[in-house]
Structure 1
Amino acid sequence: MNKVLEANVDTVTGAYRSLGGWVEKPTDLQPALEGDISADVVVVGAGFAGLSTALELAAGGAEVVVLERDFAGFGASGRNAGYLGGSLGIEFEFFHKRVGHEKARQIVSFYDEGVTYVERRLAELGIDCDYNASGNIRVGVHPSQEKKVRKAMQLGLELGSKTQFLDRAEMRARGIPPAFLFGYAQQHGGTLDPGKYVMGLRRAALDAGVKLYENTPLLSYSEGSIVKCVTERGSVSAPYLVLATNAYTPQLGLLRDKVVPLRVSAIETDPLSAAQLDTLGWPGREGLITAHWTMESHRLTARNTLLVTTKRLDYAYGSQTPNVPDAAAYGALAGALNERFPTLRGLGIRACWSGYVSMAYDALPVVGETGAQQNILHTAGCSGHGVATQSLMGLLLAERIRGSEHPLLSALRHKTPSTLPEPLQWCAVKSALAMTNMLDDRINRKVRKRA
């Protein structure tokens, strides 16, 4: 399936994978739920958040059932770029004035604590996911971006995000590829294989006695002191329900007025030869996140491929999440790969894929309870930062179910802006995406003129 980057968009799309690029269907696929059962807690969604919640609850002796529509890791957890990033990539200005300085500091702490949590859990659970504790860098590709980069960094420092500005000399001293001119680095965190991570959580959950039912979509649930979840061939009843379904939550009838599912895409090259790796330099393999309005992210994987993600977002009318290719996004990503890494022109595409993140209008997590008994918990609004945050959310939700509230969960409680009804939302989101694309294209034209 080797495809050259300079081929047309249809050729690039020929490498499309409907499962994403990191996972395959498990050989020990767990059977679908049949019959009526009960548990202490039922979790819907077997990604980072759902499996982490189940593991934390099981460690405390709870009987936990996890329902997964496809298989563990099929959704965003198995499709993302694999950045274990803290507060580096979040847009502080989106929420700083809205929630106030002190709460904003606590929210920044939540993002950074997520990195520490995942690092600890990788060791505790014995998960080998090719973690490279390289740190990550938010980078500029044109001199006109420096003011924006420095302003974002300064606000982050005021809110407790620990970063360091790198000028051109320092970037070159690190061996960062020359297309990336300057940036600010966060030394903790790094990159990992999200497929190996989520499958490691799956294995740990099964070993801990969590009952995982795959190929088991939730059809409906009923509120009450005991929540009943109905599936195609059975049901499970429990005092608590956790909806760890992120971008898919609006389709379950919840959070449609709070989060917007956005389609994110990725391309991964064929493995680089030793000579090609030498042309890049990049010895630390730091994750690179550009300062575009819609970022590009660039990273090397443990299998010596180059992964480029995001660049173009899309929204489907009615908050739907069709699992379909996005040819325009793959073409834009291939173009970015050519421009940032000219020594790799002609390199083949191993895979391209798309998936969904959920985003609130203030770009903050949406977590809370619903139902008359307040025993239906939900987490969404990862905004593309799910590896650390949604993993840590498992601990926060487990403690809430056990009767206490972690300070970081309290920090996340705020009034989320309401989304628009259709067709206004479709018009607003599409217009906003078109505007950011136009601004980013302007920057990229400036970069090409300097080349």
Structure 2
Amino acid sequence: MTGFDRQGRPVYRPLGGWVEAPDDPQPELEGEAAADVIVVGAGFAGLSTALELAARGAKVIVLEREFAGFGASGRNAGYLAGGQGLEYDLFLRRVGHAQAKQIIRFYDEGVDYVERKLAELGIDCDYNASGIIRAGVHPSQEKKLRKSLRTGVALGSPGKFLDYAAMRARGIPPAFLFGCYLPGGGTLDPGKYVMGLRRAALRAGVRICENTKVLSWADGPTVTVQTERGRAHAPFLVLATNAYTPQLGLLGNKVIPLRVSALETEPLSAAQLASLGWPRREGIVTAHWTMESHRLTARNTLVTTTKRLHYVYGRQTPNVPDEAAYRALANGLHQRFPMLGDLAIRSCWSGYISFAYDALPVVGEAGAQRNVLYAAGCSGHGVGTQSLMGLLLAERICGAENPLLAALRHNTPLTLPEPLQWCAVNAALGVANRLDHRVNRKARDAARR
């Protein structure tokens, strides 16, 4: 497996693999500014919120520390997925069946919402509405997959189990023995999607201030946001900052940032593509405790993600390489696709998702006037959910609460203080890694026989 430098280090991108800094960077906020709503964060959630508010006649300022799409929106794997395959055991008993059904509906509605917006806004992001397959690589994973599928179907999200013969009939690469076919959604280029939202927001009259670091905010009837070179004032503030929200003084006791890593190969040759099969190019996620994801892109590269998660002490989010994770990804890529041989790696990158202990979104209001709105806890399902969140937050600001937003309101489990937080999270991740390593070892042994 090539793609590392002479010191054996992977080719690291400090940006996500899907984005570059825009050619038209928007000016930093300077001096005083006023609006109807201030949005912090120019990812899927922030830009969708701004677009929905602008469509309702609001004057909106979006403040972004780097540039639109710099964070998780430009670093994820690009799966537009619904409510199947969530961690049901973490929340079903807590919220009850009725509320869980509405929560799953929120996830499935997120798929429909993005598909509508792609058409309405004319965004070309290489969307492949192929559905998604949640697959097993060893027979020991079948029970878990079938149970998850049954739970998801009972909660209203469609899916179908594919046995070995059905997987081969679809042309799925042979390392994936069986799986659950989830018909909604598919894969897209998240960089092209977020940049499409950025262009649409600018056309709609949204003021986007890039390279604008938020230093603090103060609530009241009018919220004031202090940046390095200016201040903005508005009756409402939306924090669409996901994993970075605790650094702004909110949700530090409800969500934690987890570092997720990704690897992209060089383009596959025609012969390599033919050896794969995979005619529909469904995105594949695995049934590991820490899932893997594998997909083909429109540029005929392979992108594989996750494999290892990392939590940094103190809920920090340093933009640094994770070489151990990249090596694990490279080894996993070779194990799943041995027919590709010595496939060169183009680049590797990392980013942060926010995770609550029940793996559900965290939404609500803060401040004495309840006019500081927030949304976090995407838990790796951000493309659809955080896009739809923009509509729900815009409706809430305009005086109406969507039933789907109401369904997301629940008592999120509280996180732990440091150093207990660091110990607990890394212990849990260590157990998950050991369990997944055991499954992978069994899969390797079975493949050799």
Map of 2:152 onto structure 1: 156
Query: Which one of 77, 84, 91 corresponds to residue 88 of structure 1?
Result: 84
Over 3 Å counting, the alpha-carbon distance change for 1:99 and 1:324 in structure 2 is same
Query: Which one of 391, 412, 415 corresponds to residue 411 of structure 2?
Result: 415
Answer yes or no: is the 8 Å Cα contact 1:12–1:349 preserved in 2: no
**C-alpha separation in 2, matches of 1:128 and 1:9:** 38
* Cα deviation digits, residues 37-90 of structure 1 (max 9, x gap): 100000000000000000000001100000000000000000000000111231
RMSD: 1.0
**C-alpha separation in 2, matches of 1:8 and 1:363:** 37
Map of 2:211 onto structure 1: 215
Query: Which one of 131, 134, 142 corresponds to residue 138 of structure 1?
Result: 134
Answer yes or no: is the 8 Å Cα contact 2:216–2:227 preserved in 1: yes
Map of 2:42 onto structure 1: 46
Answer yes or no: is the 8 Å Cα contact 2:137–2:177 preserved in 1: yes
- Write the mapping of 1:285-304 to structure 2, written as runs, cut at 5 A: 285-304=281-300
Query: Which one of 173, 185, 190 corresponds to residue 186 of structure 2?
Result: 190
**C-alpha separation in 1, matches of 2:129 and 2:88:** 24
* Equivalent position SS for 2:320: coil
**C-alpha separation in 2, matches of 1:201 and 1:284:** 27
Answer yes or no: is the 8 Å Cα contact 2:85–2:148 preserved in 1: no
Q: Which amino acid aligns with 1:11?
A: G
Map of 2:248 onto structure 1: 252
**C-alpha separation in 1, matches of 2:81 and 2:429:** 24
Q: How many residues align?
A: 447
TM normalised by structure 1 equals 0.98
* Cα deviation digits, residues 10-49 of structure 1 (max 9, x gap): 5352x10001100000000001001101000000000000
Query: Which one of 309, 313, 317 corresponds to residue 317 of structure 1?
Result: 313
Residue 426 (structure 1) aligned with residue 413 (structure 2): no
* Equivalent position SS for 1:81: coil
Residue 9 of structure 1 deviates from its aligned partner by 11
Answer yes or no: is the 8 Å Cα contact 2:266–2:344 preserved in 1: yes
Over 3 Å counting, the alpha-carbon distance change for 1:199 and 1:8 in structure 2 is closer
Map of 1:4 onto structure 2: 2
Q: Which amino acid aligns with 2:415?
A: T
> Where does structure 2 lack aligned partners over 5 or more consecutive residues?
none
**C-alpha separation in 2, matches of 1:141 and 1:189:** 23
* Equivalent position SS for 1:311: strand
- Write the mapping of 1:9-408 to structure 2, written as runs, cut at 5 A: 11-13=8-10, 15-408=11-404
**C-alpha separation in 2, matches of 1:246 and 1:63:** 23
Answer yes or no: is the 8 Å Cα contact 2:85–2:149 preserved in 1: no
Identity %: 71
Q: Which amino acid aligns with 2:421?
A: Q
**C-alpha separation in 1, matches of 2:162 and 2:6:** 35
Answer yes or no: is the 8 Å Cα contact 1:12–1:330 preserved in 2: no
Query: Which one of 422, 437, 442 corresponds to residue 438 of structure 2?
Result: 442
Answer yes or no: is the 8 Å Cα contact 2:15–2:349 preserved in 1: yes
**C-alpha separation in 2, matches of 1:90 and 1:379:** 18
Answer yes or no: is the 8 Å Cα contact 1:288–1:297 preserved in 2: yes
* Equivalent position SS for 2:8: helix
Answer yes or no: is the 8 Å Cα contact 2:260–2:352 preserved in 1: yes
* Cα deviation digits, residues 244-271 of structure 1 (max 9, x gap): 0000000011000000100000000000
The runs of 4+ residues in structure 1 deviating greater than 6 Å are none
**C-alpha separation in 2, matches of 1:445 and 1:24:** 38
Over 3 Å counting, the alpha-carbon distance change for 1:10 and 1:392 in structure 2 is farther
